[in-house]
Amino acid sequence: MLGHTQGQKNLSREQKQAIGLLSIGTFLEYFDLMLYVHMAVLLNKIFFSPDNPYSVKILSAFAYCSTFVFRPFGALLFGWIGDKIGRKPVILIATFLMACTCIGMAILPSYAEIGFAATVLVTLFRAIQGISSATEVVGAQLYITEMVKPPMQYPAVASTTIFSTFGTLAALSIATIVTSGNLNWRYAFLFGAFVAVTGMMARTTLKETPDFIDAKRRIKLSLEKTGVDSKQIENNSVVKEKTNFRTFISYFAIQCTGPVWAYFSYFYCGNILTEDFGYSPAEVIKHNFYLAIGDVMGCILMTYLSYKIYPLKILRVAFYGLIIFFCVSPILVPNLTPKSLMLIQFYFIMFAPGYFPATAIFYKHFPVFKRFTHTSFIFAISRALMFVITSFGLAYLTQHFNYWGILMIMIPVTICYYLSLRHFENLEKNAVH
């Protein structure tokens, strides 16, 4: 299936408005989330004790990891709200939480002013930002998935990823300006808070998704026909429908790829630039800024292609490209230069296989009343698990096995990805027939 010959080809005015509001929110979430990550070299000196360098490393690492570690708990809570009450309330709550953390970060006193309380509060804000960002991006993608029909559905959902990368690019831009000059970093978080509050007010105009409303309607009709008490709604077949276990595991395996490629591209390769080529922190930030530009361009290209080419076919081609990279990497990696390293980073950021731009296809194979809980939990747990495995695993394996240590993580992840992609391809074929 190289193209789409039928289905929704244009967006209605209401759909365009909803996608615009959701995209702005996604931009904000990733701007605020990544702003701290890329300014950590500066902010860690402000919110952690300057007297003990070792404790600074430990506490700053915990502040970073808290962004991902607490995501699964938030995914279960807000996923439950999204499946029980609706998609819209969760989106509003996520925007509100991010606005609160932005304001908190902007006015938070330094360690010199309030001591260890500053460390505790900045860690708490990071945890809330992680929970909010996971809820936001899944909520926005689900909302669009259930509001728009294929083939327009694919680029519409993919557009949220464009804006999340724009958010990362904007955060890097601010980090570059602040670390290169003498501007007050607090203004960046105040800007984020302003956009969050404005976005939250605008998002109150959103309506509930058609899929969710239709599922509720079918339950109501079923109860009316059978004369069953509405209190027994939990026993309805629509509500009790379970997620296929293989689908759950397959989607988890597909989501596990993103953290591996992202950590390798931005953080591990950043260490190579620092240790092997003598880059300063400011130079690494500038280098990553160029990568973020490439990431945005890659997302725009993939989003466009998803309207012309069936998204699962795009992912299969990307998989073949990764296999080619594995074959030539023994020649490329031992002879790295800053330019060749950037090309490798560009490749992984722009074209390494993952869930994008086929997100909408994966979501559709989860039951409506389990969809938010299960997909957001998988999104959160895969990142919490894989960022820990990748960060510590690469450090250990490359220390003992050099370049081959990288492949010890990448190859098993790629094999699981391929098997999982085949599962969804079979589900799509069965759905057609």
Write b or e for each residue in 73-105: b if 16 or more Cβ atoms lie within 10 A of its Cβ, otherwise e.
Answer: ebbbbbbebbbeebbbebbbbbbbbbbbbbbbb
Closest C-alpha to 350, from 411, 283, 303: 303
pLDDT value of position 208: 76
Closest C-alpha to 254, from 375, 110, 146: 375
Distance in angstroms (rounded) separating the CA atoms of residues 162 and 153: 15
Q: What is the pLDDT of residues 324-343, one digit of tens each?
A: 988 888 787 778 888 888 88
pLDDT value of position 92: 83
Whether the per-residue pLDDT at 3 is higher than 50: the answer is no
Give me 159's structure tokens. Answer: 């557009």
CB 422 within 8 A of CB 254: no
Query: Which helix (H) or strand (E) covers residue 414, if one does?
Result: helix 404-432
Whether the per-residue pLDDT at 361 is higher than 90: the answer is yes
* Confidence band, pLDDT 50/70/90 cuts, at residue 171: confident
Whether the per-residue pLDDT at 264 is higher than 90: the answer is no
Distance in angstroms (rounded) separating the CA atoms of residues 260 and 390: 6
pTM higher than 0.85 for the full model? no
pLDDT value of position 235: 54
Which residue is it, tokens 């808070």?
193
Whether the per-residue pLDDT at 134 is higher than 50: the answer is yes
Q: What is the mean pLDDT of the chain?
A: 81
Q: Which residues contact 164 (CB under 8 A, 6 or more apart)?
A: 26, 27, 29, 30, 137
Q: What residue segments make up the domains of the chain, in order of their start? A: 13-209+235-432
Q: What is the pLDDT of residues 366-376, one digit of tens each?
A: 998 888 889 98
pLDDT value of position 6: 63
pLDDT value of position 234: 53
Give me 227's structure tokens. Answer: 């004369």
Q: 13-209+235-432 maps to which CATH number?
A: 1.20.1250.20
Whether the per-residue pLDDT at 2 is higher than 50: the answer is no
Average pLDDT over residues 209-215: 72
Which residue is it, tokens 């495995």?
389
Q: What is the DSSP letter of 228?
A: -
Whether the per-residue pLDDT at 60 is higher than 60: the answer is no
Q: What is the pLDDT of residues 233-261, one digit of tens each?
A: 555 555 567 889 999 999 999 999 988 88
CB 307 within 8 A of CB 155: yes
End-to-end C-alpha distance for the chain, whole angstroms: 14
